[in-house]
Structure 1
Amino acid sequence: MYSSLAQHCQSVTNSERETSTFLAERMANVRRRRQDKRLLDGIGIRNRLITWKPSEEFIKNNHIINTPVQTMYIMADLGPSGKLGLKENEHVLCTIRVDTNGVITLKPDVTGTKGPYRLEVESHKRELWSYTLQHVSESVQQEEQEREEILYKDLYSRHKEYLSNLVGSDFEMPPNGALRVFINGEIVSAHEYEYDNLYVHFFMELPKHWSSPAFQELSGVTQSCRSKTHERETVAYFCYPFSFEMFLSEDVESEDALQWPVLYFEVLSLDFWQRYRVEGYGSVVLPQTPGMHNITAQTWRPVEQGTVSELRRFFIGGSPELEDLTYVRIPGTFQGERLSRFGFRTETTGRVSFRFHSIHQSRSFLDRSSLRRRMQSVLDRLGGSSQQSSILNVLDAFQRARRRMQQARESLPKDLLSATKALQLEQSTVAHQSTSNA
């Protein structure tokens, strides 16, 4: 609240040369402060619970959603008979506002049990007017209501057709002999880590026979997040979304088992002095079945023997790190038969929660005649992705072995094949005679 300083520094005499003293100016400020305090402590704030005409600065400071509104005023000219049409005699009786959501606001409301509204007018004489607001709209008839519902249904159907035309009828399909996998993932939270201000660095490793588009980014970093205590454990909620698109070549025949993409990640912390520390390493194998999956991955970090490394970690930051994150599982550069981690000291740390939404798309899903697809559809109904993959791998190996055996039999001479058939017939005859004698 602001007021003029001249109103509080009133002159004592009628002299034009009189000026206010230093004490008078300071006392004027004291009186103004007391007035502001009375308004704040009294009814001043209670009378302004609703701001009917907010300014632009008020809207920006309070983050008010600016909804388009149409306003109509019901006004009355309360001037005397000889002075009608003057602007100062016009008074607002009711304000009606309608926003884009269909909400109608009346101020003041329809007259209730408290009696009519009063409007005091001061002109050459003081006048008091009373008026009432009544809702006199006729109720909607049943036929009109049904007609309105039909119109709404027609409108919704046309809008649906409009949206379908925008989408189109051509559905993008993957290439022949390829499986397209969409992953919409989310790093939900991190639990029970030693330091605060956590962030996660992650990347996707595609195994053999997998590929991704050229524009696809297979790595990312989350925002730093402070931890909070929830059910007696420290939790940092990231809610960081990411998405991947990958292709698997189905036509490639290999004796090795099919490998699925792996998501490697590391959890780091950053303190006030910009010192970062490795809090843990982990990995997650992407879900092999479509749908929603919630996965929690445990993490660990390498440690050194002795207390010097822990003191360095506490005071100046830094800790032992992995040069290759794929060392969390089996590194891609490893070519041997056995991977030994003997002597590698680690420490279990916290855990990270993930949420995956997986979508699979392939042209071969439309072919019902394939044995692999039939078995896969049956096993999908029974459930169990690990069991499904193992059975399918066994069936594939059996089919490949059977084809190789047929090719080997076709390459043999015909006389050798006839001799083999005669020998098998003789063995079956001898076995039949032995069972009959018994």
Structure 2
Amino acid sequence: MAEAIWSSDTGEAVYRSRDPVRNLRLRVHLQRITSSNYLHCQPAAQLGKDLIDLATFRPHPTASGHRPEEEEEEVVIGWQEKLFSQFEVDLYQNEAACQSPLDHQYRQEILKLEDAGGRKNRRIFTYTDSDRYTNLEEHCQKMTTAASEMPSFLVERMANVRRRRQDRRGTEGGILKSRIVTWEPSEEFIRNNHVINTPLQTMYIMADLGPYGKLGYKKHEHVLCTLKVDSNGVITVKPDFTGSKGPYRIETEGEKQELWKYTVDNVSSLAQPEEEEREQRVFKDLYGRHKEYLNSLVGTDFEMTAPGALRLFVNGEVVSAQGYEYDNLYVHFFVELPTSNALPEWPVLYCEVLSLDFWQRYRVEGYGAVVLPATPGSHTLTVSTWRPLELSPVAELRRFFIGGSLELEDLSYVWIPGTFKGERLSRFGLRTETTGSVTFRLHCLQQSRAFMESSSLRKRMRSVLDRLEGFSQQSSIQNVLEAFRRARRRMQEARESLPQDLVSPSVTSVS
């Protein structure tokens, strides 16, 4: 069989999955092709470095004198499944080399494997998230592919950050305690709080490509695939799953160079229909419980408005002020609510713009008013202002030097004074000057029982019309005729109550 294409794209691939990562299964196939010394003898006019005929150079297993399991190996690996290397087997068989609880656990597992007949894997093994290799690899990883890479300050700082799940909650006497200011932060505290620390788990699929009979040396270990999974279900694979692409290649270094090929395929089992249905029920139950939890946070004592009342919430800010004579501006404002015995009105926002001079004396720069928005949502309002004016040089000098100026005793005079009871409001004789404008950004929210009632009424009417479908027009005609009959009866009752001499000849009506 001739294999003509190698996959040279060894970059990362990112996947997102809602399934538990424990269901992930990978099939890794590793095969020795030949000594790379044969490749150096190939003429340059052939297919090239990445396009070779593997059938030409693949030695027959019996001719090479090696067993088939040493030439080729295939294993199926689960997420965070530990496969021991020959180096680890030799190391942990010596009890004196076990220092941590994890080392003793590995020793017990290796002894059980030896009693059961030995390992099933030979060259392919794994490093899980708990192994020391994972920590060292995260510290020593390169940021670029350059052989002479000079790490920058940021690279050095980021290399010291291990993205692991950390419990930063401090409790004292069962009460959650948190410090707003840390006066003497440690190096670990700085690393943990100045970097986005997303919980992450890492796994390495490795291969021991040492010569036959000399397995178990660290210098012959090569990374086949790196998998990283964070708490959001994002899976990062480097290199990507082989799929329809060609196998990846590894060319060893040293006196006896060899060429290997390997593939990494996702062989996770697909969920059965009944499992998917069960999963949907679980998610539905989970979302329902979360909704109940949120409702419990709000509580049952949610304050409702009185029937027939409207509650208005306004959250706003002063965005800018422009066009005024002096700087160092500040704004006074208040909201006037409509009286209960008046016609339906809306709240009015009054504002007074003042400036402060060097001697901490203030000057009136303008008055303005605007009706608050009648619709909920975000609104940007620009209020034009004016100020009273005296037509004398003395008044302007007094305003400039000592800060005095004409002021309104009642700010509501800008709009309609609250004390005004007449029909016409005259400002004749009041001299004013247009000044600048103030921009407000307001976020309005309205609350009323009528909104809930109208919403439920619309839903009921919509459902009725959906059920009636083609009978809706007939229903409208019947309603009109019924209204006409009621009006006709009222008219006849009114006619009968009048004196007979005032009753005009009857008009024939259409029933």
Give the TM-score, by structure 2 length. 0.40
Where relative contact order (Cα < 8 A, 6+ residues apart) is larger, the structure is 2
Tell me the TM-score normalized by structure 1: 0.45
